[in-house]
Structure 1
Amino acid sequence: MSESKKLIPKRRFKEFEGAQMWEKLRLGDHAIIKGRLGWKSLKQEEYVDQGPSMIAGKHITEGIINWNKVDHIPQWRYDESPEIMLKNGDIIFSKDGSLGNPALITNLNSLATINSTMMLVRLKKNISSIFFYQIMLSSQFKNLIRLKVSGSSIPHLFQADMTEFKFNTPEVNEQIQIGEFLKKLDNLINTQQKKLEKAKTLKSAYLTEMFPDDNESNPKRRFKGIKEDWVPYKLKDVIESEFKGKTKAIMLGNKSIYLDANYLNGGEISYVNASKDVNFNDVLILWDGSLAGTVYHGFEGSLGSTLKAYRPKESGQFLYQYLKKNQQKIFDNYRTPNIPHVVKTFTEEFLVVNPHIKEQTKIGNFFKLLDNKIALEQKKLDKLKHIKQAYLNEMFV
């Protein structure tokens, strides 16, 4: 395949079909590239409550700067580095640690700069900043990051790396149209992300109010007409039985789904020639591995060797939500420290405060609806991200 054929994207806007081929450009010829030259003896005690903003990578999520979280520095500290005083149209990104994570500066209405872990790209007029921001989300820039990460124990992007960075681009009108189109997708993704976070926050609030704290006998919020006190039990007293899973190596075929950590965390399905020893009411806990102590529910199949299943006497959905609310406590207090493993005495020691089965059922069903809502919002977000990635693959050379 010739170089000319390579520089035509698979997908173009109709008015640009048959237009001239894209060019390969060197970023240093078309942009000013700057970073903060060290801290210049900046000390933690010099930070102020009000003053010019100083942005770090931790303040950027999915291209959005959280201006409520940025640091602030004295005016004279801002003035001493004019080369990195931010302007609308600038692109900033992390050059140390977690490389990349770019943000496009827009609607800037106050003084702002970057800290020493960041780099700034200020493009000339022949390159659209909204287009180049998308370049930094595409495989072209990700390939550079991959090389830097794999080639160093301490990943770092030097100014020279960005100066020599080669990228493919059409003429500026096509750049702008591509950038604006993908910006609309980014806005949809950001909106969907907020919906997902809102659903998660709502569930977290209800978990706090509908389950009692350690020093409480009853929760703050209850269903109307229910007054029976909650009763403390050991975990072993609210389950009929518990059992460990079996290894996959001795089981072949496709009789039932093999329930291992990979599948439970969203990985691919695999099948084994074994009976279904887990039903949908059972509560599962990962017994070994880095995520030991993680709790699951709502699965049916053959239990994997790193998991244990609890068969509840009453509502499995309630028991799952109770354990999930206390997930961090399980991690902190019921795992071995060096090689993560749930302690053998977990079921004998862990305390479960149980209401009447009528309230258990109501609580379990309520949180199942919330979990379904969260799963739906996550599915919508994943779909939008897949669409965005497909366009990045097809609209860029």
Structure 2
Amino acid sequence: MLSKPVWQEEKLGKYAYIKGRIGWRGLKASEYTHDGAYLIAGNHIIAGQVNWSDCDHISMRRYLESREIALEEGDIILTKDGTIGRVAIIDKLPGLATINSTMMLIRVRSPLVPRYVYHYLTGDNFQKLVADKVSGSSIPHIFQRDMVELTIPVPSESEQHYIAEILDSIDSAIAHTSSLIAKLKHIKAGLLNDLLTRGLDKNGEFRDAIAHPEQFQDSPLGRIPKDWEITILSQEIEILHGYAFKGEYFADSPPGEVLLVPGNFHREGGLYFDKNNIKYYQGTIPNSTFLKNGDLLTVMTDLSPKTLILGRVVLLDLPFKVLHNQRIGKIVLKSPNLWNKEFLMLVMNSNRVRENIISNATGTTVRHTSPERITRNIVAKPKIQEQKKIADIIDAQNIHIRAEEDYLNKLKLQKKGLMDDLLTGRVRVDTSQKITA
């Protein structure tokens, strides 16, 4: 076990050049160029790095007006206005670059190590300052004096380097896993499109409309397999409204039964519950309003600005009971032996069906649909055996994605714990590359 001498804490301004710019005095359209200096804004920061491909470019004259915030490799930048506290480090410059008026430049010198300072600014201590400023102002700002006066622990430079290497390593694992998840979701989307238009032959392979045109037919949905039926949802399902529970008995904490509300529907599918979206009901409850696992449900009201959940369908599978609240539709199959529920959920969540539901929705700020608008959609219905095979393929993809998402969450928790230990000196490192507690 290493001895734990107390690290000296110093003000960041003692060892850093810290500078922001008040404004650009109104950039004109003619001063944006295709190949001039990069102009970085807060929305260009993703996972601690600058997304250079999204940056604007400005004329050389404008760049030279602001040489005091011209970027160098190793610089740290952060958002100081609006959505404050986003931090990035400039590992490599693709060309001349500067920051806009919402950003701040931090350039550290010895004995501080840039990557150590970057990680410190993404940690809990600095982010608590950010949270305090957000809660204390309708238009939050980080001022230059805040960063100048910010105290930061200063281990030896070798220890700073090693702390940064450890955290860089886990950041790389997080970035790799995040990229893999994005690729898996892209693959799943392409696979789903093929499955819902081409289906599977008796050997479990995609049907080929070019090699075997005789296996396909023209339909209102385009070319589909010849043995698929075209049907309208109103002939296949009915959608039952939920119960109008009285708002006076709603609560944000127990006791009470959990109400299923539109806010529990996730924009990427499925349901989620956290402290901000759970509603409890403390009044009298009709027994018929309890939903059961295996129920197909759809959301008919959407408050999200981009209509991200309207018409989304989920198959209920929860370890606790929920109540069938109004504006949540329960989908009841008229011929259960002709539909696989998982397949029907895929069809109703397809882009074509949801885009049709959204385009026919009412309201502006809050969008609404209805059972009638949903069930007027035309869909293709394969034989139920093929439906199940298609659903099983997508389920396998979902299991793979969830496994990677679980791993990503573990990595993030591991990073949080490491940052708490390493950036406070609770766990010390040495040049023999061992972590000791």
Residue 332 of structure 2: which of 282, 287, 311 is its match? 311
C-alpha change, 1:245 and 1:204, in structure 2 (3 Å) is farther
Partner Cα distance (1:258, 1:339) in 2: 20
Q: Which residue identity does 1:278 align to in structure 2?
A: K
Q: How do 1:1-397 and structure 2 match up within 5 A?
A: 17-211=2-196, 223-224=206-207, 227-228=225-226, 230-239=228-237, 242=240, 244=242, 262=264, 265-267=271-273, 277-280=291-294, 282-288=295-301, 290=303, 291-297=309-315, 299=317, 302-306=321-325, 307-312=328-333, 313=336, 314-326=339-351, 327-334=354-361, 336-397=363-424
Q: Aligned in 2, Cα 1:242/1:41: closer, same or farther, shift over 3 Å?
A: closer
Paired residues of 2:299 and 2:313 also in contact (CA < 8 A): yes
Indicate conservation of the 8 Å contact 1:91/1:105, yes or no.
yes
CA spacing shift, 1:28–1:299, aligned 2, 3 Å: same
Alignment deviations for residues 158-180 of structure 1 (CA, whole Å, 9 cap, x no partner): 22222222233323222221111
Give aligned-pair identity as a percent.
Answer: 32
Shift of 1:19: 3.8
**SS across alignment from 1:116:** coil
Shift of 1:386: 0.9
Distance verdict in 2 for CA 1:21–1:355, change over 3 Å: same
Whole-angstrom distance in 2 between the partners of 1:198 and 1:28: 42
Q: Say which SS state the counterpart of residue 359 (structure 1) adopts.
A: helix
| Separation in structure 1 between the aligned mates of residue 292 and residue 101 of structure 2, nearest angstrom | 53
Check whether the contact 1:24–1:166 (CA below 8 A) recurs between aligned residues: yes
- Summarize the Cα distance change of 1:370–1:270 in structure 2 as closer, same or farther, 3 Å threshold: farther
Residues 21-49 of structure 1 deviation map (CA, whole Å, 9 limit, x = unaligned): 12222222221111233113322342222
Amino acid at match of 1:285: T
Deviation digits for residues 309-356 of structure 1 (CA, Å, limit 9, x no counterpart): 213430211221122223454345335434444335334433333333
SS in 2 for 1:58: helix
State how many pairs are aligned: 373
Q: 5+ residue gaps in structure 1?
A: 1-13, 213-217
- In structure 2, the CA distance between the partners of 1:56 and 1:352, relative to structure 1 (3 Å rule), is same
Determine the structure 2 residue equivalent to 1:4.
Answer: none
Secondary structure of the residue aligned to 2:207 is: coil
Question: Which of 174-183 and 271-280 deviates more?
Answer: 271-280
- How big is each residue's C-alpha offset from its partner over 1:190-242, in whole Å with a ceiling of 9 and x where there is no partner? 00110011111112223444445xxxxx7899823863264443323222664
The 8 Å contact of residues 230 and 356 in structure 1, kept in 2 or not, is answered as yes
What is the root-mean-square deviation in Å for CA atoms of aligned residues? 3.4
Partner SS for 2:273: coil
Q: Which residue number corresponds to residue 215 of structure 1?
A: none
Instruction: Report the 3-state secondary structure (helix = DSSP H, G, I; strand = E; otherwise coil) of the residue aligned with 1:39.
Output: coil
Tell me if structure 2 keeps the 8 A contact 1:246–1:305: no
CA contact (8 A) 2:19 2:144 kept: yes
Q: Distance in 1 between matches of 2:103 and 2:355?
A: 33
Distance 1:347 1:105 in 2: 49
Match of 2:221 in 1: none
Q: What code does the residue aligned with 1:62 have?
A: A
Return the TM-score normalized by structure 1.
0.81
- How far is 1:134 from its partner? 0.9
Equivalence for 1:7: none
Question: How far apart are residue 124 of structure 1 and its match?
Answer: 1.6
